[in-house]
Amino acid sequence: MWRETGVTEPATRFWLAVGRWPGEHAVVMDQADAAGVVRRLEDNGVRCWVLGGWGVDALEGRTTRDHKDLDVFLALSEHALAWRLLHDDGYRLAYRWEENVDLPGDLDGATQPTAYVLQHADGREVDVHVLDDSTDPMTVLWDHRIELVPGALDGTGTIGGTEVRCLSARMQVVAHQGYDLPDDQRADLARVERLLALP
């Protein structure tokens, strides 16, 4: 969700094959799908922090708009397991974000990406960014000048009645900086700021 620019040559081949470009989404990730992904990961021991549009909706406990994907943070120590679980469910690597930094580690014969998108055959997408959980507090592993603010991962919320981990409201504000916000994300940011203003 940080920088939707700089599509790499392999990603170009992918989007030509499916007949559309990043941002031209065929389907939405509805609340049942989003909650299902979170439950799939959490039920198998993978911590999953929701951010982006679904993260804001989770903080409010209601669905306010359609979402093109589900944005999540995953911990490095659980990343390989999450990769296998999502691939077992039909998701495949669609592309790496410009800020991606590949790490050593065998994921289906490849290095571990840290900022990427998985896409299901039906068009649903999960946008993943990986955190280094060997540090306290956790730190980002992709190429971006951002730090997690204190309590960044302490948020909780609900998606369709399912309790989820999510970024705190304060961290959501930080996450919405550093790039040109489309209209829906500007509206999300305004909602987060209203949450922060509550007593």
Residue % of the chain over a pLDDT of 90: 72
Q: How far apart are CA 121 and CA 177, in angstroms?
A: 31
Report the pLDDT value the prediction gives residue 16, as an integer from 0 to 100: 36
| Whether pLDDT at 33 is above 70 | yes
| Whether pLDDT at 20 is above 50 | no
Average pLDDT over the chain reads 87
**Tens-place pLDDT, residues 124-180:** 999 999 999 999 999 999 987 788 999 999 999 999 999 999 999 999 999 888 778
Report the pLDDT value the prediction gives residue 159, as an integer from 0 to 100: 98
Give the start-to-end residue ranges of the domains of the chain.
28-197
Report the pLDDT value the prediction gives residue 24, as an integer from 0 to 100: 53
CATH of 28-197, one of 3.40.50.1970, 3.50.50.60, 3.40.309.10, 3.30.460.40: 3.30.460.40
- 125 bridge partner residues: 119
| Whether pLDDT at 23 is above 70 | no
Query: By three-state DSSP, how is residue 142 classified?
Result: coil
| Whether pLDDT at 5 is above 60 | no
Q: Please say whether the beta carbons of 48 and 167 come within 8 A.
A: no
Q: Please say whether the beta carbons of 64 and 190 come within 8 A.
A: no
Query: 179, 184, 142, 145: which is closest to 54 by C-alpha?
Result: 184
| Whether pLDDT at 84 is above 90 | yes
